[in-house]
Amino acid sequence: MKISIFGLGYVGSVSAACLADRGHSVIGVDPNPTKVDLMNAGKAPIVEPELGELTAHAVAKNLMSATTDAAQAIARSDLTFICVGTPSQRNGSLNFVHLEKVCDEIGSALAKKNTFHVVVVRSTILPGTMKSIVIPRLEKHSGKKAGKDFGVCNNPEFLREGTAIYDFRNPPKTVIGETDPHSGDLVQELYVGLPGPMIRCGIEVGEMVKYADNAWHAVKVAFANEIGKFCKAAQIDSHKVMEIFCQDTKLNLSPYYMRPGFAFGGSCLPKDVRALTYKAQAMDVSTPLLSSLLPSNRDQIELGIEMIMRTGKRSIGILGFSFKAGTDDLRESPLVDVIERLIGKGYDLRLYDSNVNLARLTGANREYIYKIIPHIERLMVDRIEDVLAHAEIIVIGNNAPEFAAVAARLKPEQRVIDLVRIKKIEQEHRNYDGICW
């Protein structure tokens, strides 16, 4: 395929050399003539292991060249990558001056093309940037319509400095955010044969993925460092602790606990986080990340309460209020917090949870229910039908399998607030709202 790459910085230079190495014809575009001259001479514009050799080889085989002429590059290519920088400004926002400039240049060049051309943003951009900046500017300067007259995709990179060539050849995943399937197909062709999953998605999801990745990487570094500081103060081998931690790929390094939803609760997580941060304070060890966990969890509880109160309805039904499905444990259940707040504000509630109903009769929570939260016990009903008949607002508190069948029994005017994302209700009930989706 004939490819033009705008921006010969770190991402653009690596992408150009690697795509040329895969047999594609690549034209690099940059306003800096020094970078252009270096590439045309077979020299890498940046320092990165293997990049010099790949650049020299590609130029020698006439698979890669560079120019300062944007219009010429567009005319000689079928697909364009945008790899310009989006640096931080003083307030933390991104500076889009380079992105805006190349979109204007590409759009003007597209106005002169009669063939279908695909523009792919590889720069790291915040969600909404494609629709608010990239597509409008391309359309304005080309006089054409995205998705019809030309294609638009985003294709975030997952390259680490020092191992970028290896990472290009061995990606953890390839993500293509697309406005139309044809454009996505053309981008996918570039990566045929590479390992890792090939993921096609909407452009907003594609924009967000890189930020989710990098925020998680930052969380991991900060988490490991705070555990390390705690261990040093307690004279514990932090590397041994984290070595054992990382061997758990069922819960620790896994998709588990990684689905957005409601707050955590139960007998372990709140208690143990509280104890760990208390001990850290006692040892005069700063743990801002760990200390933020319970306040962040409280914010999620407040969000759930606000969603209910914003409806303006007073009759509330809650399906599932143990801290997770399949258990009768109400200790530090965030749903109990929600229920108690709503009772205090005078809402009319009905509560159903088959496991808690059983616990009321025989379980270990019997004493807790009768002595600690008797005001909640009086609102519990034995059948889902009793909740549905009573409530204007139905709150799904956990993902017990029986709640999926509720979709067909809801009245059109009943509003559902789902804290766990039960797909059947989301898909079948029009008056639906999820806490994080």
Asked whether 416 and 391 are in contact (CB, 8 A), the reply is no
Candidate from 41-45, 157-161, 304-308, 369-373 with smallest mean pLDDT: 369-373
Q: Please compute the mean of the pLDDT values over residues 89-105 and round it to a whole number.
A: 95
Q: Using alpha carbons, select from 427, 435, 420 the residue that is nearest to residue 320.
A: 420
Candidate from 145-154, 176-185, 309-318, 353-362 with smallest mean pLDDT: 353-362
Asked whether 116 and 84 are in contact (CB, 8 A), the reply is no
> For 311-352, how does the pLDDT look when each residue is reduced to its tens digit (9 = 90+)?
999 999 999 998 888 888 887 899 999 999 999 999 999 999
Q: Is the pLDDT of residue 366 over 80?
A: no
For 306, other C-beta atoms within 10 Å of its C-beta total 9
Mean pLDDT of the chain: 95
> For 10-65, how does the pLDDT look when each residue is reduced to its tens digit (9 = 90+)?
999 999 999 999 999 999 999 999 999 999 999 999 999 999 999 999 999 999 99
Query: Please, where in the chain does CATH 3.40.50.720 lie?
Result: 2-205, 296-434
> For 210-239, how does the pLDDT look when each residue is reduced to its tens digit (9 = 90+)?
999 999 999 999 999 999 999 999 999 999
Asked whether 301 and 264 are in contact (CB, 8 A), the reply is no
Q: What percent of the chain has pLDDT over 90?
A: 91
Q: Please compute the mean of the pLDDT values over residues 174-179 and round it to a whole number.
A: 96
| pLDDT band at 375; cut points 50, 70, 90 | confident
Asked whether 19 and 190 are in contact (CB, 8 A), the reply is yes
Q: Is the pLDDT of residue 393 over 70?
A: yes
| pLDDT band at 367; cut points 50, 70, 90 | confident
**Residues 173, 163: Cα–Cα separation, whole Å:** 16
CA distances for 360 relative to 137, 266, 322, 336, angstroms: 63, 18, 12, 15
Tokens at residue 34, please? 């020094």
| pLDDT band at 208; cut points 50, 70, 90 | very high
Architecture of domain 296-434: 3-Layer(aba) Sandwich (3.40)
Exposure of 333 by Cβ count < 10 A (0-12 exposed, 13-18 middle, 19+ buried)? buried
Q: How crowded is the C-beta side of 427, counted as CA atoms within 13 Å?
A: 5
The DSSP call for residue 216 is H
Q: Using alpha carbons, select from 157, 199, 158, 152 the residue that is nearest to residue 178.
A: 152
In the prediction, which pLDDT does 160 show?
A: 92
* Active-site position among 231, 246, 268, 436: 268
In the prediction, which pLDDT does 327 show?
A: 84
In the prediction, which pLDDT does 178 show?
A: 96
Tokens at residue 31, please? 């306003």
Q: Please compute the mean of the pLDDT values over residues 164-179 and round it to a whole number.
A: 96
SS (H, E, C) 236-247: CCHHHHHHHHHC
Q: Please compute the mean of the pLDDT values over residues 269-282 and round it to a whole number.
A: 96
Given the DSSP bridges, would you call strands 315-319 and 348-352 parallel, antiparallel or unpaired? parallel
- Sheet architecture: strand order including 151-154: 64-67, 25-29, 2-6, 79-82, 118-121, 151-154, 174-178, 198-202
In the prediction, which pLDDT does 361 show?
A: 65
Tokens at residue 355, please? 């496991």
Residue 18 is a catalytic residue: no
Q: What is the DSSP string of 140-171?
A: HHH---BTTTBEEEE------TTSHHHHHHS-
| pLDDT band at 153; cut points 50, 70, 90 | very high
DSSP-derived 3-state class of residue 418:
strand
For 129, other C-beta atoms within 10 Å of its C-beta total 21
Q: Domain 2-205: which CATH class?
A: alpha beta
